[in-house]
Structure 1
Amino acid sequence: MEDYQRLEQARRHFTQSQAETMEMYGLNRSMGMLYGAMVFRDEPMTLDEMCKETGMSKTSMSTGVRELARLKLVRKKFVAGVRKDLYEVERDQFRSFVEFFTQIWGRAVELNMKGISESERQICVLLEDAHLDADVRDKAHRDLHHLAEAKRYYTWLQQLTTVFERGETIVPFPNQDEEG
């Protein structure tokens, strides 16, 4: 029994690091605890087994496993004759990384490019005003420059996302002189 306890202690270090990592990425700490616990399971788990393993409530567990599944860090597993939902961890951590970050980066690109476009549109309308204060006009032109720099970054991030989705791993930062 002592050997098993030592093994569990060793596993807890990894599980704790997973919880901290999930927090770093803006996710719930309990999702990291669940993910870390599932890594060491060779068989898929039911929600009840997850509750027992982690000490979390079934409601919290259900929410956490759904979010992990959405992020493609875990997946449902069908086993003939078993009526309860079973879940297993995605073992390919490279694919998990790509799925996780490309989802986040893709959303960031879409959201920010829309914001940039709307800001550019409004500033251009403002600049059409012949009676616009000269100081406001100068600031508006500088703002357009800042938006162009932001657009350059989000274009690069979109390219990085595409490269990762294709299974490649290196994308250089664009040169300062390059246009996006």
Structure 2
Amino acid sequence: MTDADAEAARERVIEGFERSAEIYGLSRSYGRLYGILYFAHEPQSLDELADESGFAKSTVSTAMKELERFHMVHRRSISGEGKKAFFEAERDFWRIVQEFLNREVRREIETMTRALDEAEAAFEDADSDRAAKDLERVRDLQRVYDQSEAFVNLVTRAPTGRLRSAFESFSDFVRR
């Protein structure tokens, strides 16, 4: 494989990251920057990322903040570089999934659980047929959120190696 072939292969993966970012409602630039970091062999500064991507430094800075929030990149300090921030990609996708579930999905579960608990209390005091039917719907939804919380707890508390093994076993089972 020539250097040009290797560069083309890397670019295909980076373009895949761009399309993936769009699927999740993020800017394609976030996917490109993640892809650049994914293939980087050492942490990159905002200036280096701006040079490599062609994006403005402000775009890179905004993207790094958002990618950090999703635990896809990590900010690093490098001795002798002062306060200059460097970034590297999280390459363990199970870790990214765990952090996303733990932070974003758990927050949604907590928000809905509070709303459902409040609604349940209000519906229990009502005496109409409509309120009784609505109470059943709220309780059905509470069961879904209880199960979701149990799933999130299972996935976020398991070591990533165990998750990989479990998923591989599940994949083998499904393929049979």
TM-score (norm 1): 0.80
Counterpart residue number, 2:117: 117
Deviation at 1:65, TM superposition (A): 0.4
Q: Which runs of 4+ in 1 moved over 6 A?
A: none
Matches within 5 A, 1:13-162: 13-83=12-82, 84-125=84-125, 127=126, 137-162=128-153
* Deviation per residue, 1:79-103 (Å, 9 max, x gap): 1111321111112222122112332
Check whether the contact 2:123–2:135 (CA below 8 A) recurs between aligned residues.
Answer: yes
Q: CA RMSD in A?
A: 1.9
Quick one: distance in 1 between partners of 2:64 and 2:117? 36
- Gaps in structure 1 of 5+ consecutive residues: 129-136, 171-180
Deviation at 1:26, TM superposition (A): 3.0
Quick one: distance in 2 between partners of 1:34 and 1:14? 12
CA shift in 2, pair 1:123/1:28, >3 Å: farther
* Deviation per residue, 1:101-155 (Å, 9 max, x gap): 3322101101111221222233334x15xxxxxxxx2221111111111111111
Q: Secondary structure at the match of 1:5?
A: helix
Aligned length: 160
Deviation at 1:21, TM superposition (A): 1.9
Once structures 1 and 2 are overlaid, which stretch shifts more, 139-148 or 91-100?
Answer: 91-100
* Deviation per residue, 1:47-84 (Å, 9 max, x gap): 01111122211111111101111221111122111132
What fraction of aligned residue pairs are identical, expressed as a percent?
30
Report which of the two structures shows the higher radius of gyration computed on alpha carbons.
Answer: 1
Check whether the contact 2:30–2:67 (CA below 8 A) recurs between aligned residues.
Answer: yes
Quick one: distance in 1 between partners of 2:142 and 2:24? 23
